[in-house]
């Protein structure tokens, strides 16, 4: 009887234990992930969990100053030391700006329990620092995050850079990134200090509002066998002080979706591959929140390029063509202020490129040393040339009254302008029209020794543009 009792007790105990173990095993099976250090601190009075070589500068060959980075044992927000960054003047022989990353040279950290990078900073003068962020490791930069243009004050203040989706950061090596120049200080160098740099779980980073394409819903034509990059990727949070903070977020934070994967699909780098005919809408989510902005593309097939030029390269001076080597051009869209409305410019298509202008009223291709001195290039001496070639493809229905005035400007002792009018009847929608225009037909162009501007004007009278959208290709003199 006693034995039985004991057996009962044992059985009961076993039963209890097995229930307990069953529970425990169920849990442990689920949570057995390989894990990395969860250290949040990056710099307090010394680098935390980093080697002494934690700062990796941007490439000095690109102008980065490696001399201005250090620590300061005389100034600290808390404790005894801070990071000191001396921002150089643009003409500093050691480099005209400063920036780089703090790299975890170990296995990386698990930051999934945090919601923001925070630090305290002050500057020697009120100044704007171009970039603060994290996630850049100078390798894949897969989860890079950047907050642009943060204004620092001359007293210590706390700054918060939200993590777009911390669940992605289970092995991150890019602890911090900054880049600073003197744009906001009129070219004068300044110093700023950073202290108490760490990842934190604030619990007050809220109201996520991600965007792609800067929140725009874009509709455009696309061509098979081309790639379109998703731009304008941001995440916005409302933080503790009630302000909204927007950061640029790497594509890998987003989950992209195509409504029709027979037409287009998106990889994790935000590149849209257009593979078939039809319509697809590209959208994205970030941590389950639908991003504002989308792209609707309609594809009717591969891009129809203009006829391949046949002129002998030896007799050609090319402004824009994949068939020839182009001369230096300062702008393919002049962006003349304030009356030019035209947008667009060079557009890569498949493995070539064309010029695409939208919202056209007038626009220039600029290749001279007069209009934009900072971008000066030699003008064209066309005294030995006879003809201007250009291919034009109108991207809208051509209507009666449509016109496109071509103007060449010669920058001689005096500026002279020659004009040639193309009528809408000579153009057609979605079709390449090729023109070989004798330079002698540009009425008024007496001197051709310093031609430096080709202007396209679709206006029929002031503020009355006719053709708004067109493609151009193969623009050359011969």
Applying CB under 8 A, which residues contact other proteins? 201-204, 206-207, 209, 238, 240-244
Whichever of 37 and 208 has its CB closer to other proteins, that residue is 208
Whichever of 243 and 414 has its CB closer to other proteins, that residue is 243
In whole angstroms, the minimum distance from the beta carbon of 29 to other proteins comes to 31
Whichever of 242 and 373 has its CB closer to other proteins, that residue is 242
CA dist., res. 66 & res. 43, Å (int): 19
Strands 174-180 and 98-103: antiparallel
Closest CA to 57 of 44, 39, 70: 70
CA dist., res. 393 & res. 395, Å (int): 6
In whole angstroms, the minimum distance from the beta carbon of 286 to other proteins comes to 16
In whole angstroms, the minimum distance from the beta carbon of 207 to other proteins comes to 6
Closest CA to 274 of 255, 296, 249: 296
Size of the chain, expressed as the number of residues it contains: 478
In whole angstroms, the minimum distance from the beta carbon of 243 to other proteins comes to 8
Contacts of 290 (CB under 8 A, 6+ apart): 210, 283, 284
Q: Give the count of beta carbons closer than 10 Å to the beta carbon of residue 329.
A: 19
**Type and span of the H or E element at 315:** none
Q: Give the count of beta carbons closer than 10 Å to the beta carbon of residue 32.
A: 8
Whichever of 50 and 286 has its CB closer to other proteins, that residue is 286
In whole angstroms, the minimum distance from the beta carbon of 203 to other proteins comes to 3
Closest CA to 175 of 35, 34, 82, 47: 47
Whichever of 208 and 276 has its CB closer to other proteins, that residue is 208
Whichever of 110 and 115 has its CB closer to other proteins, that residue is 115
CA dist., res. 388 & res. 386, Å (int): 7
The answer to whether the CB of 416 falls within 8 A of the CB of 410 is yes
In whole angstroms, the minimum distance from the beta carbon of 41 to other proteins comes to 18
The answer to whether the CB of 371 falls within 8 A of the CB of 447 is no
In whole angstroms, the minimum distance from the beta carbon of 322 to other proteins comes to 44
The answer to whether the CB of 451 falls within 8 A of the CB of 365 is no
CA dist., res. 168 & res. 254, Å (int): 10
Whichever of 92 and 200 has its CB closer to other proteins, that residue is 200
Across 395-411, b (16+ Cβ under 10 Å) vs e yields: beebeeebbbebbbbbb
Angle (nearest 5°) at CA 274 between 270 and 278: 125
Closest CA to 367 of 381, 386, 380, 383: 380
Whichever of 238 and 273 has its CB closer to other proteins, that residue is 238
Angle (nearest 5°) at CA 397 between 391 and 401: 85
In whole angstroms, the minimum distance from the beta carbon of 289 to other proteins comes to 13
The helix/strand/coil state of 246 is strand
CA dist., res. 434 & res. 454, Å (int): 17
In whole angstroms, the minimum distance from the beta carbon of 175 to other proteins comes to 23
Whichever of 241 and 312 has its CB closer to other proteins, that residue is 241
In whole angstroms, the minimum distance from the beta carbon of 245 to other proteins comes to 11
Closest CA to 86 of 226, 207, 212, 188: 188
In whole angstroms, the minimum distance from the beta carbon of 157 to other proteins comes to 17
In whole angstroms, the minimum distance from the beta carbon of 270 to other proteins comes to 25
Whichever of 240 and 262 has its CB closer to other proteins, that residue is 240
Whichever of 116 and 250 has its CB closer to other proteins, that residue is 116
Whichever of 26 and 203 has its CB closer to other proteins, that residue is 203
The answer to whether the CB of 286 falls within 8 A of the CB of 164 is yes
């Amino acid at each position: 009887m006693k034995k039985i009792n004991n057996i009962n007790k044992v059985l009961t105990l076993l039963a209890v234990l097995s229930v307990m173990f069953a529970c425990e095993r169920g849990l442990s099976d689920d949570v057995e992930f390989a894990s990395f250090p969860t250290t949040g601190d990056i710099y307090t009075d010394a680098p935390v969990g980093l080697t002494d070589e934690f700062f990796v500068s941007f490439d000095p060959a690109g102008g980065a100053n490696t001399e201005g980075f250090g620590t300061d044992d005389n100034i600290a927000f808390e404790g005894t030391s801070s990071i000191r960054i001396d921002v150089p003047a643009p003409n500093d022989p050691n480099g005209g700006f400063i920036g780089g990353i703090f790299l975890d040279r170990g296995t990386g950290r698990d930051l999934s329990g945090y919601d923001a990078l925070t630090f305290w900073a002050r500057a020697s003068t009120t100044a704007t620092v171009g970039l603060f962020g994290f996630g850049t490791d100078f390798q894949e930069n897969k989860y890079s995050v950047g907050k642009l243009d943060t204004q620092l004050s001359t007293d210590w203040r706390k700054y918060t850079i939200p993590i777009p989706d911390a669940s992605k950061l289970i092995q991150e090596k890019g602890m911090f990134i900054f880049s600073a120049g003197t744009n906001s200080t009129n070219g004068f160098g300044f110093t700023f200090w950073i202290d108490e740099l760490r990842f934190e779980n604030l619990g007050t980073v809220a109201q996520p509002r991600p965007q792609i394409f800067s929140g725009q819903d874009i509709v455009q034509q696309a061509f098979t066998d081309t790639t379109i990059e998703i731009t304008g990727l941001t995440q916005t949070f409302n933080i503790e002080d009630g302000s909204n903070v927007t950061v640029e977020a790497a594509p890998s934070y987003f989950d992209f979706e195509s409504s029709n994967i027979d037409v287009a699909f998106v990889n994790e780098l935000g590149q849209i591959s257009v593979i078939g005919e039809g319509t697809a809408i590209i959208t994205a989510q970030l941590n389950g929140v639908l991003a504002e902005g989308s792209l609707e593309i309609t594809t009717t097939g591969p891009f129809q390029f203009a006829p391949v030029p046949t002129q002998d390269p030896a007799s050609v001076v090319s402004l824009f063509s994949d068939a020839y080597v182009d001369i230096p051009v300062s702008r393919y869209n002049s962006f003349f202020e304030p009356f030019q409305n035209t947008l667009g410019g060079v557009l890569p298509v498949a493995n070539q490129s064309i010029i695409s202008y939208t919202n056209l009223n007038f626009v220039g291709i600029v290749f001279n040393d007069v209009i934009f001195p900072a971008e000066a290039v030699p003008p064209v001496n066309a005294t030995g040339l006879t003809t201007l070639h250009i291919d034009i493809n109108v991207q809208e229905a051509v209507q009666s009254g449509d016109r496109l005035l071509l103007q060449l400007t010669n920058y001689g002792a005096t500026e002279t302008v020659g004009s040639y009018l193309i009528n809408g009847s000579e153009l057609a929608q979605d079709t390449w029209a090729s023109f070989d225009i004798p330079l002698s037909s540009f009425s008024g162009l007496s001197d051709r020794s310093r031609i430096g501007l080709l202007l396209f004007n679709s206006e029929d009278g002031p503020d009355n543009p006719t053709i708004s959208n067109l493609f151009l290709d193969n623009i050359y003199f011969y």
